[in-house]
């Protein structure tokens, strides 16, 4: 997803603009694209060879040239490999990653030619909020482009995402393509990793939003303060013009205190005052009603097509962002009144599996302690009988959150089954042990079970359930595989749960 008719740029101009040393005997080389992944090179690209944890990208320079790269930019440690590739070489004294965003913006022209750009960061709620934004803008008749954990999409063109936020060259290519096809608004999910690793450099968001901050990613950040600082960097004048900040977690107030850009606040927490206030009006098994009120802009009453106060908070945030972007609330209200709800499909977020005369069944992608707590709270509000939860944790990611996930899962459910998700390179038994330890410590007398095979775990939950119970599967919800010992095993929670319900006669 990059421009089909890019305006070629002269390599010498790029070298001069960025004050880079150019080693070339053919200064009239033209650039039409940029990438830092040799596998994505297209004819006319500048290939960035940068040092990573596993490789130095310059070691793929020859491969990149064979695929069409016309110049290489690298650092001193990549110079030999880059020179050997036989095309002009640009050298930078720092890691090419730190200038990749600016280079990509210059090559693709996205500094000036860019749609309205909306960005969402926070521990949880990013994907949901960007999909709500997409639904709202589409209902308003706007053409959208989207980049989320689940997908990159321009109009009807969709590709599955690997990273939540793409690397800067890919991101600017995406924005340039959006501009080329007349997209009105680009809606981007911004991970903390993206901010730390310069992936959104060169993008200035018209409106950026902060959802919340809770325990996650402490494998990448030393502590919560460092993780917060990463998120905070979105709310600087270089990155964003305006912000909508949720006060639902304490970090929101800290963002407001520290940011120097224009900011308005939003809250869905009863008793917490804010510029925008979300109040839940009713909770149904497949939707949540809420009002969103602002002293300046007025009030709107609508629904999100999914369960929970946290999802109403995401829906309210999406509406507030659009108003702050300049779309009158009256215009938004009229499409919401027409449709009766924000119309959006959230991939793997609290997906309800329809069951006739049986338990409520949800499959949710939550994989952090707060996501567990919030989803369990909503499920509890809708359940007359027991809450039966099937949960697990992933390997090669923040190990510290596992006992906390176990704790929240145990406290919020009546029957808890701990199973395997994606152990990746880790021993799955040790992951289960950590989650179980937190669960059993929080609820020593709780009904807490360990069933390693996820296929068996979901069947045990279904066997346990009666008509008045709710089954909640948390984690992996949008995946089509589980990564075990470096191998991707086909696995779909949705399919497996439907199969278990069918076998039990519920479907
Ligand atoms: C920790 C991290 O973010 N690492 C990312 C980083 O890896 P790295 O710098 O170590 O790079 P490397 O793999 O050593 O490769 C070095 C260079 O060689 C290039 N290369 C490598 C192989 C090859 O055949 N050809 C080639 O050109 C690579 O593109 C790269 O430019 O750059 C790579 C290239 O873009 C990414 O694939 C890799 O993401 C890894 C897979 C990852 O898991 N990242 C996660 C932690 C992440 O970013 N997650 C966030 C948040 C998710 C959430 O919301 O929870 C996200 O935004 O996705
Ligand atoms: N506002 C919120 N507060 C707390 N938890 C939330 C909120 N919104 C969603 N969640 C929970 O987090 C899970 C992930 O939601 P979503 O995908 O929208 O967040 P995300 O920030 O994109 O997370 P990730 O990129 O890690 O998947 C949901 O399935 C739900 O369990």
Report the distance separating Cα 332 and Cα 341, nearest Å: 11
Nearest atom in ligand 1 to 48's CA: 31
Torsion, Cα of 178, 183, 185, 186 (10° steps)? -20
Distance of CA 100 from the midpoint of ligand 1 (Å): 14
Provide DSSP, 463-486: HH--TT-EEEEES-TT-SEEEETT
pLDDT at 11: 92
The model's pLDDT over 335-366, given as tens digits with 9 standing for 90+, comes to 999 999 999 988 888 999 999 888 999 999 99
CB 375 within 8 A of CB 474: yes
Q: Which residues contact 246 (CB under 8 A, 6 or more apart)?
A: 122, 209, 210, 211, 212, 252, 265, 266, 267, 268, 313, 317
Q: Which of 339, 359, 393 is the last residue of a domain?
A: 339
188 domain residue, yes or no: yes
Which residue in 267, 210, 211, 275 sits closest to 243, CA to CA? 210
Q: Domain check: are 79 and 194 in the same one?
A: no
Handedness of CA 406, 408, 411, 412 (dihedral sign): negative
Least confident of 125-129, 189-193, 222-226: 222-226
82 domain residue, yes or no: yes
In percent, the amount of the chain with pLDDT more than 90 equals 85
Residue 47 has pLDDT above 90, yes or no: yes
What's 355's domain CATH number?
3.90.190.20
Residue 26 has pLDDT above 80, yes or no: no
Nearest atom in ligand 1 to 165's CA: 57
Q: What's the rounded mean pLDDT across residues 58-78?
A: 96
Q: Domain check: are 53 and 76 in the same one?
A: yes
For atom 5 of ligand 1, which residue has the closest CA?
52
Report the distance separating Cα 424 and Cα 112, nearest Å: 42
Q: Domain check: are 324 and 188 in the same one?
A: yes
**Number of domains forming the structure of the chain:** 3
Residue 408 has pLDDT above 70, yes or no: yes
- The residue segments making up the domain with residue 437 are 351-503
Strand-pair partners of 146: 153, 187
Q: Domain check: are 155 and 259 in the same one?
A: yes
Chain Cα centroid distance, residue 191: 6
Q: Which of 318, 339, 360 is the last residue of a domain?
A: 339
Q: Domain check: are 128 and 83 in the same one?
A: no
What's 17's domain CATH number?
3.40.1390.10
DSSP state of 367: -
Distance of CA 373 from the midpoint of ligand 2 (Å): 11
* CB count in 10 Å sphere of residue 459: 20
248 domain residue, yes or no: yes
Q: Domain check: are 427 and 493 in the same one?
A: yes
Q: Domain check: are 129 and 103 in the same one?
A: no
Report the distance separating Cα 21 and Cα 254, nearest Å: 42
Mean of the per-residue pLDDT values of the chain? 94
346 domain residue, yes or no: no
The residue ranking higher by pLDDT, 24 or 469, is 469
Nearest atom in ligand 1 to 55's CA: 14
The terminus-to-terminus CA distance of the chain in angstroms comes to 40
* CB count in 10 Å sphere of residue 421: 26
Cα–Cα–Cα angle for 43, 49, 55, rounded to 5 degrees: 125
Q: Domain check: are 326 and 364 in the same one?
A: no
Q: Domain check: are 66 and 194 in the same one?
A: no
Mutational test site, ligand 2, from 121, 125, 413, max ligand atoms within 8 Å of CB: 125
Which residue in 215, 294, 290 sits closest to 250, CA to CA? 215
pLDDT at 27: 67
Ligand closest to the CA atom of residue 247: 2
Q: Which of 315, 339, 363 is the last residue of a domain?
A: 339
4 domain residue, yes or no: no
Q: Domain check: are 95 and 160 in the same one?
A: no
The model's pLDDT over 283-334, given as tens digits with 9 standing for 90+, comes to 999 999 999 999 999 999 999 999 999 999 999 999 999 999 999 999 999 9
The model's pLDDT over 195-206, given as tens digits with 9 standing for 90+, comes to 999 999 999 999
Ligand closest to the CA atom of residue 164: 1
The residue ranking higher by pLDDT, 481 or 133, is 133
344 domain residue, yes or no: no
Which residue in 321, 378, 316 sits closest to 349, CA to CA? 378
User: Token pair of 64, please?
Assistant: 């990149």
345 domain residue, yes or no: no
Pocket-forming residues, ligand 1, beta carbon under 6 Å: 36-39, 50, 52-55, 57, 60, 149, 163-165, 167, 191, 193-194, 197
Q: Domain check: are 302 and 366 in the same one?
A: no
Q: Domain check: are 324 and 288 in the same one?
A: yes
2 domain residue, yes or no: no
For atom 14 of ligand 2, which residue has the closest CA?
366
The model's pLDDT over 470-489, given as tens digits with 9 standing for 90+, comes to 999 998 877 889 999 989 99
What's 180's domain CATH number?
3.40.1190.10
DSSP state of 455: H
> pTM of the entire structure?
0.93
């Amino acid at each position: 997803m990059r421009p089909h008719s890019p305006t070629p740029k002269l390599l010498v101009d790029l070298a001069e603009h960025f004050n880079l040393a150019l080693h070339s005997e053919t200064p009239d080389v033209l650039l039409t694209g940029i990438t830092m992944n040799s596998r994505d090179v297209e004819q006319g690209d500048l290939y960035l060879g940068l040092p990573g944890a596993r490789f130095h990208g310059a070691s793929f320079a020859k491969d990149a040239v064979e695929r069409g790269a016309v110049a290489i930019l690298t650092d001193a440690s990549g110079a030999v490999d880059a020179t050997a590739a036989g095309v002009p070489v640009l050298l930078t004294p720092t890691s090419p990653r730190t200038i990749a965003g600016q280079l990509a913006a210059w090559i693709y022209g996205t500094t000036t030619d860019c749609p309205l750009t909306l960005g969402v960061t926070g521990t949880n709620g990013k994907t949901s909020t960007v999909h709500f934004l997409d639904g709202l803008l589409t209902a308003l008749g706007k053409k959208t482009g989207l980049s989320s954990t689940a997908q990159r999409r321009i109009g009807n063109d969709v590709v599955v995402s690997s990273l939540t936020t793409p690397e800067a060259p890919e991101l600017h290519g995406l924005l340039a393509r959006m501009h080329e096809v007349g997209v009105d608004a680009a809606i981007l999910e911004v991970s903390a990793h993206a901010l730390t690793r310069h992936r959104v450099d060169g993008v200035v968001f018209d409106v950026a939003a902060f959802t919340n901050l809770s325990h996650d990613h402490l494998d990448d950040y030393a502590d919560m303060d460092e993780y917060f600082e990463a998120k905070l960097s979105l709310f600087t004048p270089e990155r964003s013009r305006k912000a909508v900040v949720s006060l639902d977690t304490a970090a929101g107030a800290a963002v407001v205190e520290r940011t120097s850009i224009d900011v308005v606040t939003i809250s869905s927490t009863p008793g917490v005052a804010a510029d925008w206030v979300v109040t839940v009006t009713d909770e149904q098994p497949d939707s949540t009603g809420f009002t969103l009120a602002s002293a300046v802009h007025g009030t709107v009453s609508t629904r999100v097509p999914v369960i929970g106060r946290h999802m109403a908070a995401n829906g309210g945030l999406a509406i507030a962002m659009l108003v702050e972007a300049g779309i009158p609330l009256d215009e938004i209200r009229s499409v919401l009144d027409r449709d009766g709800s924000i119309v959006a499909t959230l991939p793997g977020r609290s997906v309800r599996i329809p069951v006739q005369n049986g338990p409520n069944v949800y499959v949710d992608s939550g994989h952090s302690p707060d996501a567990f707590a919030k989803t369990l709270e909503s499920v509890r509000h809708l359940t007359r009988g027991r809450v039966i939860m099937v949960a697990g944790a992933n390997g090669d990611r923040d190990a510290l959150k596992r006992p906390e996930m176990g704790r929240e899962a145990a406290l919020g459910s009546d029957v808890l089954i701990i199973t395997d998700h994606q152990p990746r390179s880790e021993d799955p038994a040790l992951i289960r042990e950590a989650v179980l330890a937190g669960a059993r410590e929080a609820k020593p007398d709780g009904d807490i079970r360990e069933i390693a095979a996820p296929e068996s775990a979901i069947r045990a939950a279904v066997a346990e359930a009666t008509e008045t119970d709710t089954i909640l599967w948390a984690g992996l919800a949008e995946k089509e595989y589980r990564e075990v010992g470096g191998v991707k095993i086909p696995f779909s929670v949705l399919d497996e749960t439907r199969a278990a319900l069918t076998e039990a006669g519920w479907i």
